[in-house]
């Protein structure tokens, strides 16, 4: 059965249309927008713009996983960056769902207490054993993303070795994480799988995952993709500057939608909103017509 709603701590998001998750990095070092929204005021102004452009969810992160080898931050510093922003968004934009992009249960727990409804864990609960319990108790929605290694090397090629069946390996590592989450008490409808584009994956691995996305969708969980501005798009298009990769991002998102993804994590919300809504209308017309 296909999941029709994504259940989270404060309600449910209908998945009968593409859902756009706007990225808000409150970090000094993120690969494409690091340092731009470090103060709470700047971050809240950015959140307002993301909402105006049509974001359904705002994903607030305080620790970069940048490909050039990210610097891990402690839970106290990460909390100091993201918590005032999460509380501010929850207060000012009560209609907007907030997710926290963290691998740390302390940060997730405090974020859920301050108004976040979803925990986006790029390690799929590999790096903090308390994470499933924290999410289960809060009734949080969760994103379980495939990666290998720790925060500082998961977006590098350090662990990017695969045999012939990249998607098979990704699913082989990701599905046990979803099983463990369910065993900890997280409802199946609260779990979203993300194959982790660019995480421990060279361009050919990211392309293989996107081309075979229907196999990820067949696992029976809603699927999120995060292609926005990523390195493989730069390699395919020759666009070196990440902020200028919006057209490549759109191409990958539209294909992922056609292949069954329903949630799209992006920096450029208006472009994704428009492109995905138009592509969705065409797909629906095809199915109904
Ligand atoms: N990608 C990034 C961070 N978080 N979460 C999910 N679920 N899926 C992704 O693909 C994903 C993610 C990396 O992008 P960004 O946040 O722009 O960069 P940085 O890690 O440098 O902050």
pLDDT of the residue at 172:
98
| Bridge partner list, 248 | none
Q: Which residues contact 274 (CB under 8 A, 6 or more apart)?
A: none
| Cβ atoms 108, 134 nearer than 8 A | yes
Instruction: State the CB neighbour count (10 A cutoff) for residue 16.
Output: 10
Q: Please identify which of the residues 230, 231, 245, 262 carries the catalytic annotation.
A: 230
- In CATH terms, 5-288 corresponds, of 3.40.50.620, 3.55.40.20, 3.20.20.20, 3.10.20.30, to 3.20.20.20
**How many angstroms separate the CA atoms of 9 and 64, rounded?**
25
Q: Which residue's CA is the closest to the ligand 1 atom numbered 8?
A: 226
- Token pair of 62 as six digits: 């305080």
pLDDT for position 1: 47
Give SS3 for 277.
helix
Atom of ligand 1 nearest to the CA of 145: 7
Rounded CA-CA distance 261/278 in Å is 15
For ligand 1, atom 13, the nearest C-alpha belongs to: 65
Distance in angstroms (rounded) separating the CA atoms of residues 220 and 251? 25
121 in contact with ligand 1, CB cutoff 6 A = no
Q: Can you give the pLDDT at residue 3?
A: 61
Catalytic residue flag (residue 201): no
**Centre of ligand 1 from the C-alpha of residue 199, in Å:** 9
- Is residue 209 within 6 Å of ligand 1 at its C-beta? no
Question: Going by CA atoms, what residue is nearest to atom 11 of ligand 1?
Answer: 226
- Cα–Cα distance measured from residue 261 to residue 214, given in angstroms and rounded to the nearest whole number: 8
Handedness of CA 208, 214, 215, 219 (dihedral sign): positive
Residue from 35, 50, 61, 228 to probe ligand 1 pocket by mutation (most atoms less than 8 Å from CB)? 61
Which regions of the chain are under pLDDT 50?
1
Atom 18 in ligand 1: which residue has the minimum CA distance? Answer: 30
* Domain extents in the chain: 5-288
Q: What is the pTM of this model?
A: 0.96
Q: What local confidence, expressed as pLDDT, does residue 87 receive? A: 97
120 lines ligand 1 (CB under 6 A): yes
Measured in Å, residue 287 CA sits from the centre of ligand 1 at 32
Nearest CA to ligand 1 atom 9: 226
Return the pLDDT at 66: 82
Is the CB–ligand 1 distance for residue 145 below 6 Å? yes
**262-286, pLDDT tens digit by residue?**
999 999 999 999 999 999 999 998 7
Helices and strands of the chain, counted as H and E runs = 10, 10
């Amino acid at each position: 059965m296909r999941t029709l709603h994504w259940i989270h701590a404060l309600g449910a998001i209908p998945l009968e249309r593409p859902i756009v998750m706007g990225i808000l990095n409150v970090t000094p070092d993120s690969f494409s927008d690091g340092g731009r929204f470090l103060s709470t005021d700047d971050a809240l102004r950015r959140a307002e713009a993301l909402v105006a452009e049509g974001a359904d969810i705002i994903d607030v992160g305080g620790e970069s996983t940048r490909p050039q080898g990210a610097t891990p931050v402690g839970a106290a510093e990460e909390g100091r960056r993201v918590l005032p922003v999460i509380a501010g968004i929850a207060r000012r934009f009560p209609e907007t769902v907030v997710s926290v992009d963290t691998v740390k249960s302390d940060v997730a727990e405090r974020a859920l207490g301050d108004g976040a409804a979803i925990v986006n864990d790029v390690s799929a609960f590999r790096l903090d054993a308390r994470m499933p319990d924290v999410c289960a108790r809060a009734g949080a929605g969760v994103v379980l993303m495939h990666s290998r290694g720790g925060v500082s090397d998961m977006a590098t090629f350090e662990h990017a070795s695969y045999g012939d069946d990249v998607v098979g390996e990704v699913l082989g590592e990701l599905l046990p994480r979803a099983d463990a989450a369910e065993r900890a008490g997280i409802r199946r409808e609260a779990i979203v799988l993300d194959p982790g584009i660019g995480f421990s994956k060279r361009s050919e691995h990211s392309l293989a995952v996107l081309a075979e996305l229907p196999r990820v969708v067949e696992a029976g969980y809603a699927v999120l993709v995060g292609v926005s501005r990523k390195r493989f798009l730069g390699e395919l298009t020759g666009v070196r500057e990440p902020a200028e990769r919006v057209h490549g991002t759109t191409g990958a998102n539209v294909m992922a939608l056609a292949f069954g993804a329903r949630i799209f994590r992006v920096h450029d919300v208006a472009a994704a909103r428009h492109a995905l809504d138009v592509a969705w209308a065409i797909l629906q017309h095809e199915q109904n017509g």
